[in-house]
Every structure is written in C-alpha cells, then in structure tokens.
Amino acid sequence: MITASCLNSFGQDAFILISSEERKDPIEFAHIVYKDLSSGETFLNTTNIDGKASNIAKHKSYVTISFVGFEPLKDTIYPNHNYNYVLKPGDYNLEEIVVTGQYAPISESNSVYKVKVINQDYITSRGAISLPQVLNSQLNLRLQEDGVLGSSINIQGLGGENVKVLIDGVPVVGRLNGSVDLSQINMSNVERIEVIEGPLSVLYGSNALAGTINIITKNPEAQTTSASVTGQYESVGLTNLSASFSTADKKNSILLEGGRNFFTGWSEYNTTRSKQWNQKEQYFGQAKYKHTFDKLTIGYSFNGLWEQIKDKGERLGEHSNNAFDNWYTTERHINSLDFNFQAGVFSNSSVIASYTYYRRLNTTYLRDLVNLSQTQVSEDTTLVQNVMSRGSFATQLDGKWNYQVGYDFNYELSKTERISQETVDMGDYAFFASVMWTPTYRLSIQPGLRYAYNTRFNSPIVPSINLKYEINERTKLRVSYAQGFRAPSIKELYLDFVDQNHMIFGNENLIPENSKNVNASVAWHSSLNSTKQSIKIEPAVFYNYIQDRIQLVKTGVSDREFTYLNISEYTTFGGKIDVRYSIHPDFTFNLGYSHLGYSNIWHNQDESVPSFLYTPEATASFSYWRASKKFNFNIIYKYTGETPDYRVDTNGELVQTILPSYNWMDVTVTQLLWQNRIELTAGGKNLFDITSLNFSNGSGGGAHAGSGTNLISWGRTWFVKCKINI
C-alpha cells in the first residue's frame, strides 16, 4: 500500500520524507520531479541519506516520486508543508529525467528520443576519473586511443567531427584529429551523462550526425551546504585529488570544484625514455552560480582545464647524450550564461550563451641527458575562440499540440602558424522549429526543420521526424528519420599537425557532408512471478548513409601520414539488443549484443575486396547492492570482435588488416561508512591486461597482408578511492 501524510512546517525548512513499505528504511537518492501548477516550471530534487529532501515547491505543485524497484508515486503538494511518503515495491525502473533535445526536463520513458542515461551511481562504481573510463564498457560505443591526441569515440560506426560533445549544453571546442579528446573531460563533478545515438542535426546542427553526448554537471542541492574531498590512486601511476563546496538557499546557489590528475606515463616494456602512454598532468575546475527570481533563473558557469603532456624522445644516436622532447600544453576555458524564463502557464523559454577559449602549445626541447638541461628548439601555438548562443521557446500544454522554436548561433575563429592563412573563421547561424503532435495518449509525433546560413558553404534545409508509440503499458516503440548536413571544420580545411609521431594535413578542397539516418527501437518490460523480479528487453536497429563523407585516411607515404578526403558514399548499419534482469532490491544483470556493418572505403579502388565489413560486440554486467549494509559489488565485461580494414601500403598496394578481438573486464566494490559520509571504492580495471593489439595479416579478395599496432589501454591496474563528505 502507498501511503502519504502531511504536516504543516512551523519555523523550519519544509521537507519530504520517503521510506520503503517493506523494510521501513529511508530511501536515499529517490527522485522527486516537481511541476509548478502556477508557472509550469519543471525541476528535480533527490533525497539524502536520511530519505529526506527539501520541499522546494514555490506554489501548488504536482510531484512524481520514483526509485528503482518501487512503484512511482504521484501527488499534489503545497509549499511550506512536510510530507511523509511510503513506497511500495514494484517492477518499475527508476524514472531518469533527461534534458538533451527535449522541450523541457522529462522522464526517459516519455522522451521521443531513445536516450541512454549513465547516472552518478554508475560513474562512482566504475572508479572513473575521465569520460573514456565511463564509456569504454557501453554497447555500440567504441573508443580509440592515441598517446598524444588522446581518446576519441565512434557511435554507430561514425566518429570524429560527427559526434557532438556537450558540457551542460555547451559544445566542447578543441578538436585535433577531428575528435574531442575525451580524456580531458573529468568526472569528479558529473551528475549524469546523456547519450543519444543518431543525428540531432535539427537542434544542434553540425557535428551531431552520429550522436550527441551531453555531460551534465552537478548543481547544489536546494537549501543545503555541503563539501567533499576525494582522493584516488591507481597502480599504473595515476593519482587524483579533488575537492568541492556548494551552498544554496531559496534564491541563490553556488558551487566550487577543482582538482588535479597526474599520470606518470606507462609502457608495456619500460626500458626506454619514450612511452606508449605519455606522462600527463591536469588541473581542472568549475564554478557555478544561479539566482532565481519569481519566473526567471539566471546562471553563470565557468569550466576550466590546464593539461600538459610530456612526450619524451629516444637518444639521437648510440653515442649521443641528447634527445628531442615534445611538450603539449592545453588550456580550455568555457564561460557560459544561461537564462530560463517561465513565459506563461506550461511554457518555457531558455537561452544559453558561451565563450570558449582554447589554446594548445607544442614546444620542442633539445634535452641533455647528462646534466638534464634543455634548450627550446621550436614552439607552435594553436588558438581557437568560439562564441555560441542557443535559445528556444517551447510550450508544455496538456492538449494535442506543442511546439518549439529557436535559434543556434556559432562563430569560430582559429589562428595558428600551421594553417595557410594567419587567421581563419567560420560562422553557422540557424533557426529551427519542431511540433509535438499527440493525437492519442499512446502516440506522439514530432517533425522538425532547421534552416542555417554558413559563411563558407551553402546549407540545405534539414528535416527530421520522430515517433513514439505506446503499444501497451509495457511496450514502447520509437522510430526516427533525420537528414544531416555538416560543413568541413576549419581544422579539416587548413590545419597541418606535424610532430615526431603524427603528420596530419588539412585539405582546402573538401566539400560538406550530407546524411540520412533511420533508427528504430522497442522497449518492453515485465514482472516475472512476483513484483520483486523484472525484465526489460530493448532491441534496436539503425542505418546511416553519408554522401561525401570526410574521412581521415593514411596517404600511403608512411604509417603516420594522414590527410582528409571526401568519400563519395559511406554507409553504416546494424542492430543491437539490451536485456536487463533485476531481483529487487539486490541483484541486477545486464546483457547486450550488437553487430555493426560499415562501408569498405577501398571497394571503389579494387572490386575484389568486399563492399561491406562487419564487426560484433557484446557486453555483460552484474551488480549487487545491499542497502542495509551500504555495500555495492559490480562486474563489467565487454567483448569487442574482430575489426577488418584495408589500406594502401608504402608500395602503393592494397593490403588487408584485421584488428583482433579482445576481452575487457572491471571489478569494483563500494562501501559507505559513517552515515554515508565516507565512500570507499576499490577494484581492478582491465583484468585481462590488454595493452595494444597488432593488426594481424589478412587475406581475401586478392589483397595482400598488412600489419600495424593499435593502442587499447595501459594494462591491468588496481585502484582505491576515498571520498569524504563533510
């Protein structure tokens, strides 16, 4: 039975208390979604370790309370009142709230987009310091590693400039080989990560063809003050130290966070100066301030990074005491202002404006290995400045029709000694609109259009349509079709990146990409025998077609020389299935499998090679959560199948290469102590000790054999992490 009681609050902050019917225990991290019945504003709060959350309702509000393994509860509440709620066990999953691509914050199950939510509990259980350590176990997401250029990602077989990476809705600037270095995005202050596979070109324009990753940072809890210190050490030589402070009242909130990551560098055979994984040092910080008026909320956010990578070279000769070292120093400052205005009943207006400063300095030193002195030989600076603003107005009416209109303004300026012009710039200015039609409570249809003006290329009108149909209470169908347009970036057009390990050249003759995408998925869930057991099955298929795709390819002169080329046609397609089985409240099992097909870019040069190449992937995980003991145990496994490819060797001949399959496993445990003020996490990562893979000799279609090396990880490592909440 679900029960609730209400008491007036006199002389103290009003609260909401949530507990379980079965065990009478308070429920920590329960979600409370408020909808203000006066302004239409939607906002979120969570309970603390005592199962309490401040009642932050300003007016009469409609609330939805949910937690994994319990039936959601809905009620109407009033400000300045205390409420006690008791939740009944059920087979429902936690209603994650998503914001990426939405008219307003909405539950994941009600979104027309299929949104993958990676929450804070998962990030904590992984002992993840940076974004790649979170994403490397996700199905249909593949990471690529480089000792200097960092970590990049493929979604549905597409990557580079085709993946949009956002921090609180602001694009991350600073692509080197066409990709954002994900290892520069720290996880210490991340609340959740939202991933949408497939294009969001209508909303976010260029760089959103393959998918969108939105990293959402924490906000201070309402009417509380808190602080924490976190330290982590990994046996591979990685240390992390961070601290945060936040405070909030009914009108104002402030958050300050910062820290340092240091990695000593690593090689499988540690006998030389040069490393497979270079020494890296990072300092990061964030500051957030928000002020709430009656219907207007204004916020300012600063996100900063300073990073230095030291790429040490070998002796110049057998009898030499000198070596060349390259130091790569990166600075990124993101400043953003956001305005959220409740324009009327059930309506919402939001504007975000940002300025990003990105600077990467490549300094070469001649190092004397005897007296350890060094002399600067050369210095090369890349400077990128980006101004962005996005605004939208959306209705949230209870009727059949809602709509959203908005603008998207992007201007980028780049300056470096390595481009053919001293300074180059590019602007992309767009208007977008979409309509949400709900003819029945089961069916939602959302068509959209984007019209853009690009200062260098002609932009077409970009359409999309999304459909969500609730077949029954347990089954939801989602289908989407979208077109995309992406102009070549400044770096792809003009930038030359040359060091002792890389030779990447821009191409001024590139033309824009045009794409088409289809996604379809089904989500089905049911209880098994009792409400304590539940199963959720989610099959999905996708198809991507890109005309004039921009691809970074080897030129054949050497293994490290690349340039950008347009490929006439490129296709990726595939399917996946995710299965989640839970025994409430302690056990959760997850299984997943995907199969990806993608165009062989060399088929046009040699018809004897196949038109398409294929690669499989599988994931499995097990989680045990003992609430009464505050203990959590996780096992995460991922299988990455053989990945075939073709390339031109130094003799100009077409050769086949196959990257072998490999297995990955992490094991972690978390224990909460001292009324949850101390959080201890320990475990092992990469237990199969995968470091790098050699491209094996391949054959087929008359092609020759190929070889090479691909970095995967820095090997098996053990870690311990301690977080103290003050």
Domain ranges (residues) in the chain: 214-725
- Using a pLDDT cut of 90, give the percent of the chain over it: 48
Whole-model pTM: value is: 0.86
Contact residues for 693 (Cβ-Cβ < 8 A; gap 6+): 659, 660, 662, 709, 710, 712
Measured CA to CA, the distance from residue 79 to residue 55 in angstroms comes to: 7
Q: Which H helix or E strand runs over 204?
A: helix 201-204
- Using a pLDDT cut of 70, give the percent of the chain over it: 90
- pLDDT surpasses 60 at 707: no
pLDDT tens across 345-383, in order? 557 789 999 999 999 999 999 999 999 899 999 888 889
Contact residues for 35 (Cβ-Cβ < 8 A; gap 6+): 41, 42, 61, 62, 63
Measured CA to CA, the distance from residue 127 to residue 124 in angstroms comes to: 5
pLDDT band at 145 (very low <50, low <70, confident <90, very high): confident
pLDDT tens across 28-46, in order? 778 888 887 776 677 778 8
**Which of these ranges, 34-43, 219-228, 249-258, 588-597, has the smallest mean pLDDT?**
34-43
Distances (CA, A) of 110 to 65, 95, 398, 634: 15, 9, 14, 29
pLDDT value of residue 234 = 96
Measured CA to CA, the distance from residue 444 to residue 634 in angstroms comes to: 37
- 232 token code pair: 């982590």
**Radius of gyration over every alpha carbon of the chain, rounded to an integer in angstroms:** 26
CA 43, 184, 179, 603 torsion-angle sign: negative
- pLDDT surpasses 80 at 65: yes
Q: Pick the residue with more confidence: 490 or 535?
A: 535
pLDDT band at 701 (very low <50, low <70, confident <90, very high): very low
Q: 224 in helix, strand or coil?
A: coil
Mean pLDDT computed over every residue of the chain: 86
- 259 token code pair: 């820290």
pLDDT tens across 438-477, in order? 999 899 999 999 999 999 899 899 999 999 999 998 899 9
pLDDT band at 497 (very low <50, low <70, confident <90, very high): low
pLDDT value of residue 242 = 96
The architecture of the domain spanning 214-725 is: Beta Barrel (2.40)
- pLDDT surpasses 70 at 500: no
Residue 74 near residue 82 (C-beta atoms within 8 A) = no
pLDDT band at 6 (very low <50, low <70, confident <90, very high): low
pLDDT value of residue 206 = 67
Q: In degrees to the nearest 10, what's the CA dihedral of 595, 597, 598, 603?
A: 140
Question: Mean of the pLDDT values across residues 58-67?
Answer: 86
Measured CA to CA, the distance from residue 348 to residue 55 in angstroms comes to: 22
pLDDT value of residue 418 = 59
pLDDT band at 531 (very low <50, low <70, confident <90, very high): low
For 134, phi and psi rounded to 5 degrees? Answer: -90, -40
